[in-house]
Amino acid sequence: MPSTLRTARAPGRVNLIGDHTDYTGGLVLPMAINLETRLTFEAAPHDERPTVISADGDPNTARYVDAVFAELRDSGMNPTPLRGTLTTTLPVGAGLSSSAALESALALSFGAPHATENDRVQLARILQHAEQRAVGVPCGIMDQLICLVGRADHAMLIDCDTLDAAPVPLPSGVEVVVRFVAERTLAGSAYSDRVAQCAAAEQLIGPLRHADLEAAMTISDDVIRRRARHVISENIRVREFATALTSHDMPLAGELMYDSHRSLATQFDVSTTQMDSLVDELRNTPGVIGARMTGGGFGGCIVALVEHGVDIPGWRVSASSGASLVE
């Protein structure tokens, strides 16, 4: 029987606001972007191990293939082995979730259900575990979820406690520019430390999602107090930012992005001097509405909201739909 070639596509993401909130069930506002990963594949015999060749020779691909296959199998989803080839327009290691895109493309190709919103939310949970299995970092669910539930022309306001995702239209006349700063460094252990520090804060004042800044101020340990302050204030900013976008209050949206950056830099200690100076530079650039570091930090990218047509260097990205099988 001649085998049939099919292709799955899965987008990367950029987070407009709400970083280091997802793993305490907080709020995030990412968008899936038009930089994406494609996996062209054919089904393989049931007793064969899935094999994927990556066009750019990324040595980490096999780890993700094995992790996604194993997590789907452990969740009772009966994944189908495949032979596939991978291409991507996403820069790897830049903090635009090339790994969540890879995981999602793999999952759809292995035959994971993804027809309904609920299927996609369940799948995001499985892929979050696959990421943890592949790299041993206790990541939250934002990257996998936005990669699966993204919508064209919209950012998504995601409640990482209930996993509800509400589309927020991006105002016309506004563009999103992503500027690569540096390959991420130390992301693994430093990220795990932040997760542990937030858990320590929750031991003292309960779930950060429901705590207020006053409660955070009662924490005597300086580091734990600052971590809590960031998370609590960031959740507030995400809501205000979503409202600002909806009501086209761009000056407010911009200020909230700068506030978010400052909080990530001074309370959460995940920025770098290079990222801080780029955000300062953008703040003084005409036509830039707001800018901040995006994602886990320690390198990666800056995201900026700019007025239409403003010419600053970087990738001009548009909001795209979640992962799908295309042919």
* Residues in the chain, overall count: 327
Q: How far is the CB of 127 from ligand GLA (least distance, A)?
A: 11
36 or 50: CB nearest ligand GLA: 36
- How far apart CA 178 and CA 313 sit, in angstroms, is 9
CA angle 222, 225, 227 (to 5 degrees): 110
Retrieve residue 198's tokens: 């937030």
Residue 157, number of CB atoms within 10 A of its CB? 24
Active site residues: 143
Q: How far is the CB of 87 from ligand GLA (least distance, A)?
A: 23
Name the minimum Å distance from CB 278 to ligand GLA.
18
Question: Which CB sits closer to ligand GLA, 81 or 299?
Answer: 299
CA 282/CA 266 separation, integer angstroms: 19
Q: Which is nearer to ligand GLA, 8 or 96 (CB)?
A: 96
Could you identify the residue written with the tokens 């280091």? Answer: 20
In the complex, the residues that contact ligand GLA under the rule CB under 6 A are 19-20, 22-23, 139-140, 142-143, 295-296
Which candidate, 8, 6, 9, 18, places its Cα nearest to that of 293?
18
Q: Which two tokens stand for residue 293?
A: 């570091």
- Calculate helix-pair angle for 61-74, 98-109, nearest 10 degrees: 50
24 DSSP 8-state letter: G
Select 183 or 249, whichever has its Cβ closest to ligand GLA.
Answer: 183
For 46, the token pair is: 């049931």
To ligand GLA, the closest distance from the beta carbon of 151 in angstroms equals 19
Are 153 and 169 within 8 A, CB to CB? yes
* Residue with smaller CB distance to ligand GLA, 160 or 216: 160
Q: Which of 179, 172, 142 is nearest to 31 (CA)?
A: 142
SS3 at position 39:
strand
User: To the nearest whole angstrom, how small is the minimum distance from the Cβ of residue 295 to ligand GLA?
Assistant: 5
Alpha-carbon radius of gyration of the chain:
19
Q: Are 181 and 301 in contact (CB under 8 A)?
A: yes
Q: In the complex with ligand GLA, which residue's Cβ is closer, 70 or 195?
A: 195
